[in-house]
A and B are shown apart, each in its own frame.
Chain A
Amino acid sequence: MADTVVEVAEGPALVLGGYDGTPLVDLDSYRAVGGYAQIAKARAMTPQEVTQQIIDSNLRGRGGAFFPTGRKASFIPTPDKVAKPIYITVNADESEPGTFKDREIMLKVPHRLLEGCLIAAHAIQSKHVFIYVRGEYGEEYRVLEHARREAEAAGLLADVTITIHRGAGAYICGEETALLESLEGKRGQPRSKPPFPAIQGLYASPTLINNVESITNMPIVLEVGPEEYAQIGAPPDSTGTRLFCLSGNVVRPGVYEAPHGITVRHLIDDIGGGIAGGRKLKAVMVGGSSFPVMTPDELDTNLDANSLGQKGLFIGSGVVCAIDDRTCIVQFALRVAQFYMHESCGKCTPCRVGTRWLVQILRAVEDGTARKQDLAICLDVCDRIIGKCLCVLGDSAAMPVASCVTKFRDEFNAHLEHGGCPFCEDSSLAHLFAPVDQHAHTPVAEAGSDGGKAAVARPEDRVASGAPWGAEP
């Protein structure tokens, strides 16, 4: 049972700076590599000066949206403008499939995250920071809480309170407004925006929300200086390094820190040792499962927002998951759709019903009960989800599914012609069980993967028969 590989693949070592295989979990070990020097520097500056340094570095959000971190901080009103407290919430609800970097930050350099929190707190003059850690992360919580207590005992928090809050298992709580709802003690359902969290966030007060890796970069920006930071990686838009999450069918998966702008091919072949078992690559999940998939002819694309953007791809949370040539892409699309169906909060109809339909259609393609027109219907359903909801969870199902159908059309057609999956013998994703099928109340569970295919109704059948849309339980 091997440990996760966590290393600096290519310099400079920033987020993982000072980590050489021994986690810097104790205050002394972090101080020995210069820890907490930057918060002292920050406190000697005005809040506006600190914010300006973050803006000048062009640090952008590492959680998926890539929004300029400094600009986000500048949206927060100053205390003299509002009669309410100002809050910071750190999004440590890392749940995007393929993402496992924030937990390594919490496990390996927890004090750097805390120092980032304190710098952010000074920049926006906040006195209370909440770190929302996903519920499943037990060890991460304990390590971070230990670090927090140490920092508190050493007087490093000054007048700032840091509260580490644990989630309870809900992907949607990584969406910033759902996270706020959850932190307020409610079901984690996204809010309508505006008002944006910077104006009315936690307890209707101004709130800055940043991903763990983004916040952890703040002491680094101050340490190397914003001008130099802005030159690292792929300037001007993708500055700094990234903790790339390499997984799937590669020889050496792991968390690798490298500058923005390395190619996907370099990451998979040189850093990751290539495809395992000497096989060929069929597709790459880049950014996370929420985004369109990459095909092998796009492998020389640089891992920065603009290079990926030109190809309709996203940097997301730094995910690169290699999918080898045995894998059935229909099974991949189905499993991705099942995830989003399971995680849809149910608030917006296109997402709640649409993700279910995608699962039903893809299941029919895989099982051989689909008709030729079902692929067009599938794309149509995707189109009717994207941009139609309060948050992007539905889009996150529709984008990868639509990309699979369009980029691997031959494979979908082969299913239609073959009357089912032609790749089941070899595909690792064959018959892969999804948690959504554990819930007995879903029609999909009743249909199962082998029997009762007739129970899987198609969307347009319901329209034709006048049955209620979606026929939800």
Chain B
Amino acid sequence: MSVYEEIARQYPESKSAILPALRHAQERYGWLSREAFEEVADALDLTPAYCMSVASFYDMFHLEPVGTHTIEVCTNVCCGLVNAQPVLEAFESELGIRAGQTTDDGEITLRAVECLGGCSTPTIVAVDHVYKQSVTPDDVAKIVEDLRG
């Protein structure tokens, strides 16, 4: 049984498996290419176009290539009230890119994101989807260094 079939088995209707299936495909390929959509569509008996229309609705799906690593900085009001903007700018300057861009070597994508639900420990930065709490501009160089290994 394929991974997709296994996911689909948890639901009364296989269409419900589309989000976890797309998540799996994205984890495997890094982003959702035409081929990834075809793979998911085939497994769930949907069309690639339908899968794309669903994926484009959700913020976590990448419809174009992204870096090997992602850094996501919460810039909603609670983090903003403390230091989100200085933290975001520190990442921009450390990486030499703007929010929404990927470094030239294809290593790191920097994004600003809406509230991540960690408002009591601002600023929240999700590094490869793992939350780092209470990040200050001083922590930025180390975070990037650790990512680059």
A contact residues around B23 at 8 Å (CB)? 135, 166, 168
Establish whether residues B81 and A97, one from each chain, have CB atoms under 8 Å apart when the complex forms: no
Contact with B along A135-148 (1 / 0, CB 8 A): 11111000000000
**Size bracket, chain A contacts:** 35 or more
Q: Is the CB of B19 within 8 A of A166?
A: yes
CB neighbours (8 Å) of A324 from chain B are 81
**Cβ proximity bits A351-395 to B, threshold 8 Å, 1 near / 0 not:** 000000000000000000000000000000000000000000000
Contact of A210 with B by CB under 8 A: no
Query: Are the CB atoms of A97 and B120 closer together than 8 Å?
Result: no
A428 touches B119 (CB 8 A): no
Instruction: State whether A100 touches B119 (Cβ < 8 A).
Output: yes
Closest residue of B by beta carbon distance from A335: B77
Contacts of A65 in B (CB 8 A): none
Which B30-81 residues sit within 8 Å CB-CB of chain A?
Answer: 53-55, 57-61, 75-78, 80-81
Residues of A within 8 A of B17 (CB): 185
**Interface presence of A67 (CB below 8 A):** no
B117 — nearest CB in chain A belongs to which residue?
A: A100
Chain A binding surface SS class: loop
- Residues from chain A with a CB closer than 8 A to the CB of B118 are 4, 100
Contact of A435 among B15, B111, B121, B135 (CB under 8 A): B111
Known: A3-B133, A163-B11. A169 touches B117 (CB 8 A): no
**In the complex, per-residue mask of A429-441: 1 if CB is within 8 Å of any chain B CB, else 0:** 1111111001000
**Residues 102-141 (chain B) with a chain A CB within 8 angstroms:** 111-122, 126, 129-135, 139
**In contact, A169 and B134 (Cβ under 8 angstroms):** no
Chain B hits for A182, CB < 8 A: 19
B76 and chain A: residue at smallest CB distance: A97
Query: Chain A residues near B53 (CB, 8 Å)?
Result: 187
Bound CA span A323–B82, Å: 10
- The answer to whether residues A285 and B77 also contact, given A95-B115, A438-B100, A438-B112 and a CB cut-off of 8 A, is yes
Q: How many residue pairs between the two chains, A and B, have CB atoms under 8 Å in the bound complex?
A: 176
Residue ID in chain A nearest B115 by CB atoms: A97
Interface magnitude class on chain B: 35 or more
B120 touches A168 (CB 8 A): no
Contacts of B15 in A (CB 8 A): 184-186
**Interface core residue of B84, B113, B117, B134 (most chain A CB under 10 Å):** B117
A274: Cβ under 8 A from any B Cβ:
no
Of A85, A95, A135, A321, most buried by chain B (CB within 10 Å of CB) is A135
CB distance from B84 to the nearest CB of A (A): 7
Contact of B99 (CB < 8 Å), options: A128, A187, A438: A438
Residues from chain A with a CB closer than 8 A to the CB of B99 are: 433, 438
**B81 and A321 form a contact (CB under 8 A):** yes
CB of A429 within 8 A of CB of B61, answer no
What residues on B are CB-neighbors of A435 within 8 Å?
59, 75, 111-114
Is A83 part of the binding interface, using a Cβ–Cβ cutoff of 8 Å? no
Least Cβ distance of A372 to chain B in Å? 27
Residues on the B chain within 8 Å of A171, using CB: 114
Give, as a whole number of angstroms, the nearest-CB distance from B42 to chain A. 15
**B59 and A1 contacting across the interface, CB-CB below 8 Å:** no
Pair A4/B77 contact, Cβ less than 8 Å: no
Chain A 103-139 interface residues, beta-carbon cutoff 8 Å to B: 103, 128, 134-139
Contact A187 B54 (CB under 8 A): yes
Q: Which residues of B contact A97 (CB under 8 A)?
A: 76-78, 114-115, 119
Q: Please name all residues of chain A whose beta carbon is closer than 8 Å to the beta carbon of B54 when the two chains form the complex.
A: 185-187
Interface flags for B1-43 (1: CB within 8 Å of A; 0: not) read 0000000001111011111101100000000000000000000
**Complex Cα spacing A255 to B120, Å:** 8
Flag if B80 contacts A2 (CB, 8 Å). no
Contacts A/B (CB < 8 Å), 16 sampled: A97-B76, A135-B23, A137-B117, A168-B58, A169-B59, A184-B16, A185-B18, A186-B15, A203-B13, A245-B120, A248-B119, A321-B78, A321-B81, A336-B77, A433-B112, A438-B99
Apart from A97-B78, A184-B15, A429-B80: 10 A-B pairs, beta carbons within 8 A: A1-B135, A97-B114, A97-B115, A135-B23, A136-B60, A166-B23, A185-B19, A187-B57, A435-B112, A438-B99
7 A-B pairs with the lowest CB-CB distances in the bound complex, closest first: A169-B59, A185-B15, A169-B60, A168-B58, A253-B120, A438-B100, A247-B119
